[in-house]
Amino acid sequence: MRGNERDVVIIGGGHNGLVCAFYLARAGLRVTLLERRAVVGGAAVTEEFHPGFRNSTASYTVSLLQPKIIADLKLYEHGLRIVERRMANFLPLPDGRYLAVGEGRTKEQVAKFSARDAGRLDSYHQRLGAVSDLVRELMLETPPHMTGPGLLASLPELFKAGKLARRLGALDLAAQRDLLALLGRSAGDYLDDWFESDPIKAVYGFDGIVGNYASPYMAGSGYVLLHHLLGEVNGKRGAWGHAIGGMGAITQAMAKACAAQGVEVRLAAPVREVLVEKGRASGVVCENGETVRARAIISNLNPKLLFDKLVDPAVLPEDFRARMASYRMGSGTFRMNVALSELPRFACLAQAGDHLTAGIIIAPSLGYMDRAYHTARDKGWSENPVVEMLIPSTLDDTLAPQGAHVSSLFCQHVAPVLPDGASWNDHREEVADRMIATVDNYAPGFAASIIARQVFTPLDLERVFGLTSGDIMHGRLELDQLFAARPVLGHGNYRMPVPGLYLCGAGSHPGGGVTGAPGHNAAREVLKDLGR
Ligand SMILES: Cc1cc2nc3c(=O)[nH]c(=O)nc-3n(C[C@H](O)[C@H](O)[C@H](O)COP(=O)(O)OP(=O)(O)OC[C@H]3O[C@@H](n4cnc5c(N)ncnc54)[C@H](O)[C@@H]3O)c2cc1C
């Protein structure tokens, strides 16, 4: 290597780009990371949205971040602190009742609605736990690549596939059947088999529609439910927690880990093009015209954005191009941050308490979620939308002035693209008002307590974060876009069809969420190819 030439250029400084950069630099490679925005972190950032009020701008709660990555990058030593919610979930109901879910209280709470359901909770968790343990083990592995040329090249992949088959075989038959059901069926069908009362099905079923523009009764939502159970907080499996300082605290700690390994991070440095010479990715051209050359080019962008905008279609195999054209994106997400003069008071539980630290789900039943989805397909959004609300300032006093609060509204089931040619630019405020009114129905006075708000329609998520169609997962988590087929069968091992070009973002295995796993796995494959 001579002069300013780099070993690796990473396009995009989302958390996966940072994780990938860290591992490569730790192995001794010269790494340059180019981020379009003025801040690293991608969808995992904390920003001030009103004077004195900061919040996780997009992604807002932590669970999936891999313990190995936390340890390798020494994120705690770089200042990260993750705390548990004092209650996992809170579901206010229109009839004035509520369901509180969390350690030590779920059974008693579910019994208010169904003694039978309360009695089934332990075996539900035990059975789901067996399946999620297996899938969790695969997160830091590269899926088998069974399309290599010749038997010799295929041997390691056959071994990998064999290992996977052995793991599956080690599950008891009930767990194998559960896995099949979750992969093939809907979250709603799965939960209907277990429970009879609506509230517990709504709390658990919400995981099946998070970032998933689909009815909970659509096939595929079973896997999305499972995906949201693959994490942990401080060793508690399936739990969700809060990073003190917001999600940006995670990526700022990652940036420090990168700096300690000598990664060169350039901000406000958008890349215009991946340079391909003699059939190989050899560098990138930045918007300012500068060319940065390297032996490996790694993209943290969602695959559609990468191949639509940065790679010359002429260098791609025709079938790959066609598959990417039909790669499915669009998570139906509408995201708001609000500054509050006071804490909300829920009609069903007015006094402040642990429930204000919970993921507060406004969607009382699976049927409600199903209707919200179908209405959105028809009209763009529903008058009765699904809203998850968090008030992170109840756990973290660094986000708002004393006595005031910030809240994240994570709203599901708006159309990624509005019907009949309508534009999100014309409906942003109207839909934001609807989301606030929905919360206000359950917590009267909420609307009046709002000092300021920040609103992201799917179009805004695309503009600000580069999330095509506002897809928070970099592509739908559906069977033909998962594991060895993420983003496309034959490229599940992070290697793209142009030699020297790799994917390290959530559009590769194991998909979306703040996991760090795609970045970790991609780095391992790049190191192999560069002979490290
Ligand atoms: C609204 C919302 C809520 C979410 N909530 C949660 C949650 O609570 N918990 C959770 O675990 N996950 C959540 N997610 C999902 C999770 O945040 C993402 O799946 C994850 O952050 C993706 O990380 P990434 O590093 O792969 O990509 P990204 O974070 O998308 O990073 C890609 C980076 O590439 C940059 N970039 C784009 N184009 C260029 C270019 N031309 N040149 C240079 N750089 C470029 C972008 O600016 C960005 O920084 C949420 C996402 C959103 C949007």
The reported pLDDT for the residue numbered 228 is 97
Which of these, 489, 446, 291, 472, lies nearest to 356 by C-alpha position?
446
The answer on pLDDT for 148 being more than 60 is: yes
- Shortest-distance Cα residue to atom 4 of ligand 1: 59
At 2, the pLDDT band (50, 70, 90 cuts) reads: very low
The reported pLDDT for the residue numbered 4 is 62
Distance 41 CA to ligand 1 centre (A): 7
Q: Which residues line ligand 1 (CB under 6 A)?
A: 11-17, 34-37, 42-44, 58-61, 64, 270-271, 300-301, 333, 335, 410, 461, 465-467, 472-474, 505-506, 512-514
The atom of ligand 1 lying closest to the CA of 43 is 29
The reported pLDDT for the residue numbered 1 is 40
At 149, the pLDDT band (50, 70, 90 cuts) reads: low
- Specify the amino acid at residue 381: W
Distance 468 CA to ligand 1 centre (A): 11
The answer on pLDDT for 62 being more than 80 is: yes
Q: Are 362 and 442 in contact (CB under 8 A)?
A: yes
Please state the rounded mean pLDDT for residues 363-390: 98
The radius of gyration of the chain from alpha carbons, rounded to an integer in Å, stands at 23
The answer on pLDDT for 49 being more than 80 is: yes
Residue % of the chain over a pLDDT of 90: 95
Which of these, 87, 176, 29, 152, lies nearest to 356 by C-alpha position?
87
Please state the rounded mean pLDDT for residues 453-476: 98
The atom of ligand 1 lying closest to the CA of 466 is 37
Please state the rounded mean pLDDT for residues 313-323: 98
The reported pLDDT for the residue numbered 156 is 82
The answer on pLDDT for 463 being more than 70 is: yes
Distance 472 CA to ligand 1 centre (A): 7
The reported pLDDT for the residue numbered 243 is 98
Please state the rounded mean pLDDT for residues 40-51: 98
Please state the rounded mean pLDDT for residues 422-441: 98
The answer on pLDDT for 387 being more than 50 is: yes
The reported pLDDT for the residue numbered 260 is 98
Distance 248 CA to ligand 1 centre (A): 12
Name the residue with tokens 């406004």.
Answer: 362
Per the prediction, the chain carries an average pLDDT of 96
The reported pLDDT for the residue numbered 3 is 45
Please state the rounded mean pLDDT for residues 57-61: 98
The answer on pLDDT for 153 being more than 80 is: no
Residue % of the chain over a pLDDT of 70: 99
- Shortest-distance Cα residue to atom 15 of ligand 1: 513
The answer on pLDDT for 532 being more than 90 is: no
The answer on pLDDT for 86 being more than 50 is: yes
The atom of ligand 1 lying closest to the CA of 474 is 19
The answer on pLDDT for 312 being more than 60 is: yes
* Residue 345 neighbours by CB distance under 10 Å: 16
Which pLDDT tens digit goes with each residue over 235-266? 999 999 999 999 999 999 999 999 999 999 99
- Shortest-distance Cα residue to atom 27 of ligand 1: 14
Instruction: List Cα–Cα distances, 102 to 187, 201, 236, 360, in angstroms.
Output: 20, 15, 12, 12
Which of these, 300, 294, 262, lies nearest to 530 by C-alpha position?
294
Distance 42 CA to ligand 1 centre (A): 4
Please state the rounded mean pLDDT for residues 319-330: 97
Distance 43 CA to ligand 1 centre (A): 3
Q: What are phi and psi of 380, to 5 degrees?
A: 105, -35
Note if the bond before 385 is cis, omega within 30 degrees. no
At 152, the pLDDT band (50, 70, 90 cuts) reads: confident
Instruction: List Cα–Cα distances, 210 to 10, 70, 200, 300, 485, in angstroms.
Output: 29, 24, 16, 22, 21
Please state the rounded mean pLDDT for residues 298-320: 98
